[in-house]
Structure 1
Amino acid sequence: MSLVLDFLNTRDAEADTDVLGSEETWRTWASDRGLTADPLPEATRAREALRAAAGDRAADDVAPTVHVPVRTSPSAGGVAFEPSTAVAAVYAAAARLTVLGERNRIKICPADDCRRAFHDRSRNRSRTWCSMRVCGNRRKARTFRRRSTLSITQMEQPCG
């Protein structure tokens, strides 16, 4: 789960950073995880497709083809993925989540100034925000202020 979330969060809207913004930062990200970096355009397409699959309305659903070798392995319970690149490793992890029925627990925060991917651990899979203390609270505060402002302006209007 963490590899998929780490990959989806290589773009940080709040900090205005993008690991896939340069070959060097992408290679460093992959190397830090013991993986071989794919060509940058492939990694970018893969991230966009996975973010779209997680519900990011701003992501392009570009559906790249990613080859993930599989081999038989008695010690792994029959079959094991053998990804050779970072993108293949992320897709192998995403495939595992799908098989386990956990893929729909990966969600994208709807806050425009956040857009972080997070793992919904709620029992009924209804969590909306990456953090209720931060993004959820901001939204609630904005909604409250908007309602308060509307109420005040309605009270200030002369009766007719």
Structure 2
Amino acid sequence: MASPHSAELPSDVALLRDFVNTLDVEKMLDDVPTPEALAGWFRSQELLSPADTVSPEAFTAAIQAREALRAVLLSHNGEPLAPAELRTLERVAAASPLTVGFGSSGVTLRPAAQGGWKALGSLFAAMATAQRDGRWERLKLCPAGDCQSAFYDTSKNRSGRWCSMRICGNRMKTQRFRTGAARQAR
């Protein structure tokens, strides 16, 4: 059986997933620990030109937005969401203005800022597109505390819970079984 996120992802969803996954919780490794590293990541995603930079303020806002986005994606998996996370996203989005563009593919949102704020605007435009196209709720965060990877749920009924049923899902089921067996043994 295919994993709930094995299909080819739309570019907006892949961008958001990859941004959230710049923090590897299991290995405690942050791919973007500095403004320069974040600028490099944004360039690799074609969100910044080689001459663009990420200011310290935009860097701080990006990390805050990433962590708030992680909480939102976890809420897509049934966990409660603190209103503070939404306020953080609103605050960062306000500093990352968007404009409406028109082209052969229709109406799009485009970033209207410069540097790191422009790249952040692209992330918010991707969120709006995913919401509009009905894919936003399928972007989730694995609830396994030692994983917390973002993934796209491609299950028909949108019930995918784990980034990998074979790894995280199996670990959690085994843990629940052991906890239940220990309770019964008492």
TM-score band, normalised by shorter chain? 0.7 to 0.9
| Length, aligned pairs only | 151
Please tell me whether residue 126 in structure 1 is matched to residue 154 in structure 2. Answer: no
Distance (Å, rounded) in 2 between the aligned partners of 1:90 and 1:54: 14
Contact 1:20 1:40 (8 Å CA) reproduced: no
Q: Which runs of 5+ in 2 are unaligned?
A: 1-12
Counterpart pick for 1:81 among 109, 121, 142? 109
Offset, 1:58: 8.6
Contact 2:139 2:150 (8 Å CA) reproduced: yes
- Tell me which residue corresponds to 1:158: none
Cα 1:14–1:132, aligned 2, differ >3 Å: closer, same or farther? same
Offset, 1:72: 2.4
| 1:80-130 Cα deviation digits (max 9, x unpaired) | 222362211111111111001111001111111011111011111111111
Q: TM-score, normalised by structure 1?
A: 0.84
Output the aligned Cα RMSD.
Answer: 2.1
Q: TM-score, normalised by structure 2?
A: 0.73
Distance (Å, rounded) in 2 between the aligned partners of 1:50 and 1:146: 31
- Tell me which residue corresponds to 1:109: 142
Q: What is the one-letter code of the residue matched to 1:76?
A: S
Could you list the runs of 4 or more consecutive aligned residues of structure 1 that deviate by over 4 angstroms after TM superposition? 56-60
Q: What is the one-letter code of the residue matched to 1:108?
A: L
- Tell me which residue corresponds to 1:71: 101
Please tell me whether residue 140 in structure 1 is matched to residue 152 in structure 2. Answer: no
SS at match of 2:102: strand
Name which structure has the greater RCO, CA cutoff 8 Å, separation 6+. 2
Please tell me whether residue 150 in structure 1 is matched to residue 183 in structure 2. Answer: yes
- Tell me which residue corresponds to 1:97: 130
SS at match of 2:143: coil
Structure with the greater alpha carbon radius of gyration: 1
- Tell me which residue corresponds to 2:16: 4
